Chains A and B, each alone.
Chain A
Amino acid sequence: MTEAVVNDITLLLNEKFNLRVIPDSRPGYSGYIVPGDILLSFCIFLKTELGFDYLSSVTGVDYFPEQRMEVVYHVYKTAGCPVFCFKTTTDRENSSVPSIVSVYPGAEFQEREAWDLLGIRFEGHPDLRRIFMWEGFNGFPLRKDWHEPYFEEDFKPLKSRWPDGHGFRAEDSNHFHDNIELPAGFNPDSFTPEDEEPLYKTLLGSLGGEKGLKTDQIVVNLGPQHPSTHGVFRMAVVLEGETIVELKPVMGYLHRNHEKIGERNTFIQNMPYTDRLDYITSMSNNFGYAITVEKLMGIKPPERAEYIRVIMAELTRISSHMMNIGFMMNDLGAFFTPALYGLEERELILDIFEAVSGSRMMCNYFRFGGVFKDVSDTILAKIKALVENRLPGKIDDFDRYLTNNEILMSRCIGVGVLTREQAISLSTTGPILRASGIKHDLRKADPYSIYDRFEFDIPVGTHGDVYDRYKIRLEEVRQSLRIIKQALKDIPTGPIMTGKPQYMVRVPAGESYGHVEGPKGELGYYVISNGKPNPFRYHVRAPSFINLTSLAKMSVGEKIADVIVILGAIDIILGEVDR
């Protein structure tokens, strides 16, 4: 944001809130600090008067020795503008922050996540339950004083590994008997899970209490093990006949607390872990993390590296969309023919990733200030052959094969509709947001890297249904091909790394929020450094997780068979949803 705009906003806020909203003046920090009691009116002011209609991310930070917590919000305008950040502080022991779900409904899951992992209580939240951890879990894992079983040290590298390391298998120290804390009175032997109760209570409660339950309404659990849920993901639905009356997603089966691992790691050690978020799109995960930390470090990669990054990110987008289109057809009952056609193209792209980075899926290719290895001319020629000769024809094949298919049309058109307003307020991103008619793509709205140099269009849908999402993905693949062609034409020679490769990077203290337009949507990273080798706070704004907020809205009123397609069109990857 430019100086003038910031000053304007500051003046406006001073006038409106009587100097109670103060700019964050800590070195390296930005944004505003809002007292908790005026948070709601501040949000309404932001949304209605200033036009910040889109809530990007909500997360908490635990300032442990200082006994306070901070909730950090990032908002922007869908018309396109840099991110606006504001924070509110709360006490650590008796945390209480007003929930902003009534203003920004997209905050629902993110506030639940902050409650689950950090123990920040959001007053007025409609359904404040744990979201990832199980109900017998003690404490809040992202708090700085929480230690996992067989905790060794707060920060890696662990001292036991060198210079007096004695080999041991990590698995041997991983049995669950001691070093585990349980809540008071919790006995694992006599424990019967009761998390279903609150879940069903909220499910039925939203229908007007248990009294309103009619005999022909039944609760059905789709998943967690179900071929159509794309992983271990559960949807608890209330059915009336075949129609969905209410739906609640249940997740966390693949939870591994990526963020806690990230705070134990050094900065560079997080890079391979980001691969494992959305394991289909590791290159763009790397991209987001690299530009976030580069923002903090104040470095820029050299030209050639920028071009390589863009080429790799766009290839990732192609492979992810191809796969999603294919697997969405699986959900429709077109078993595996389209999916394998999609995988065929993805295979060729993965071959390129393997030759470039050394691994097909867990690429770990980006470094702060560049990329790991240069791309040779033979590989560039391979990419060129793929992008110019093969993929355009294959996309057209897909188009001919599927788009006018009567079964696909009758199953997809008008299903899972999300209106323009709903899509914005529920914080959906990526193809879902664009299918609802909002021309918002971070590559244009808040250009990062060198995307402002390329010519491409943002495909936009009109109806916001599953069919539009499918068509937008197809069109986005075409646009990605356009970008790669331009990048291949202009790619300069030169170095691929700024400075020397370092295994312990020096990151100045401060906060930074970086986001990229990943294939699934806006992938954001919020990193706080306190000048030490490890990040103080590391948060991932996962697009597929936040897109799930809209699942209930899309599904209510649809038939149960259509929910499978709606979920397929959201394109979730459980590695990223559960983190």
Chain B
Amino acid sequence: MNGSGIISGLWITFRHLMNTYIQDFQKGRKHYYTKEGIADRCAADTKGIFSIQYPEERLSIPENFRFIPFLVYREDGNGNKSILCTSCGICAKVCPPQCISIKRTTDPNTGRPVPTPAEFYIDVDICMNCGFCAEYCPFDAIKMDHDFELSVVDNRKSNLFDMKTLLKPETYYAKIRPTYFAEEESSRREKEAAKKAKE
């Protein structure tokens, strides 16, 4: 019959519309602006409304999420900061758009390189967020961030990140990637124990 296809199609859209109201009625207020509500609306069995009201509501970021690298520093009890980076240059070598530039420190007396960076720059405008630098860093010194809200008024002035902007504490890293951090921590402890046992 002519028109039956259109009617059965319209029935699907109508059901979709009604589902939103049914869900609202069942779930009540906590369906919006709460963590459970957002998770519920993103689940595989969700019905009705699907969208998230950004920025009032935010999707939860999975731990694997990667955006713009940062450098990790460690702080001991006395407030001494130590940068984990040894300026070996692997991140600069593996970076596909070549957005990382590192200046190695040289000892002024001997002229030999010292394993810490003197300058470290990332051109955020051309960083493609591939995550290779964090993946191949042998010292766990460079990691991918979770902070994706980077819009600035003048990118010409602020989008060349230097060491001051890039450095973030290890505790921050532990907060955004708890399982990664735990894994790395345990493997480091094992290595240290093995080293001690050798001695």
Contact = CB atoms under 8 A, between A and B. Distances in A.
Interface string B16-33: 100000000000000000
A167 B119 contact: yes
B34 interface: no
A382 B42 CA distance: 12
B100 A359 contact: no
A81 interface: no
Nearest to A347: B50
A152 to B, nearest CB: 8
B128 to A, nearest CB: 6
A52 to B, nearest CB: 37
B89 A162 contact: yes
A501 B66 CA distance: 19
A406 to B, nearest CB: 5
B146 to A, nearest CB: 10
Interface string A69-85: 00000000000000000
Contact of A364 (B16, B63, B130): B130
A501 to B, nearest CB: 7
Interface stretch (A264-272, A425-433, A462-470): A264-272
Decide if the interface of chain A is mainly helix, strand, loop or mixed: helix
A356 B44 contact: no
Nearest to B8: A400
A344 interface: yes
B160 A163 contact: no
B96 interface: yes
Nearest to B157: A169
A163 B126 contact: no
Interface residues of A, number: 58
B5 interface: yes
Interface in B107-150: 113, 119, 121-123, 125-126, 128-132, 135-136, 144
A348 B90 CA distance: 35
A163 B125 contact: no
Contacts of A373: 64
A166 B126 contact: no
A385 B44 contact: yes
A537 B127 CA distance: 25
A160 B96 CA distance: 14
B165 to A, nearest CB: 11
Contacts of A382: 44
Interface string A18-61: 00000000000000000000000000000000000000000000
A503 B94 contact: yes
Contacts of B126: 170-171
Contacts of A162: 87, 89, 92-93, 100-102, 104
A164 B64 CA distance: 32
B80 interface: no
Interface string A346-375: 011001001111110010100000001100
A163 B89 contact: yes
B103 A166 contact: yes
Contacts of B90: 503
A386 to B, nearest CB: 5
B5 A354 contact: no
A269 B93 CA distance: 10
Given A382-B44, A504-B93, A160 B132 contact: no
Given A358-B65, A372-B135, A163 B113 contact: yes
Given A166-B119, A167-B121, A503-B93, A358 B9 contact: no
Contacts of A402: 9
Interface residues of B, number: 54
Contact of B12 (A156, A265, A401, A408): A401
A161 interface: yes
A42 to B, nearest CB: 40
A162, A164, A404: most-surrounded residue (chain B CB, <10 A): A162
A389 interface: yes
B142 to A, nearest CB: 13
Contacts of B100: 161-162, 165
Contact of B132 (A356, A389, A401, A503): A503
Contacts of A163: 87, 89, 102-104, 113
B123 A169 contact: yes
Given A162-B89, A355-B64, A405 B99 contact: no
Contact of A406 (B3, B113, B121, B144): B3
A406 B2 contact: yes
Contacts of B62: 351, 354-355, 358
B193 to A, nearest CB: 22
B136 A400 contact: no
Contacts of B2: 406
Contacts of B132: 268-269, 272, 364, 503
B131 A166 contact: no
Contact of B6 (A160, A272, A405): A405
Contact of B66 (A359, A385, A390, A409): A359
Contacts of B56: none
A163, A357, A390: most-surrounded residue (chain B CB, <10 A): A163
Contacts of A397: 12
B64 A357 contact: yes
A574 B177 CA distance: 36
A305 B113 CA distance: 40
A271 to B, nearest CB: 8
A4 to B, nearest CB: 43
A225 interface: no
B156 interface: yes
Interface in A473-532: 501, 503-504
Interface string A251-282: 00000000000000110111111000000000
Given A272-B132, A351-B62, A364-B130, 18 more contacts: A157-B92, A157-B94, A161-B92, A166-B121, A169-B123, A170-B99, A170-B123, A171-B156, A266-B94, A268-B94, A271-B130, A273-B96, A351-B42, A359-B65, A386-B44, A402-B9, A407-B6, A504-B94
Q: Nearest 3 CB-CB pairs, A to B? A: A167-B121, A165-B101, A272-B130
8 contacts: A168-B101, A168-B121, A373-B64, A386-B44, A401-B12, A405-B6, A406-B2, A503-B94
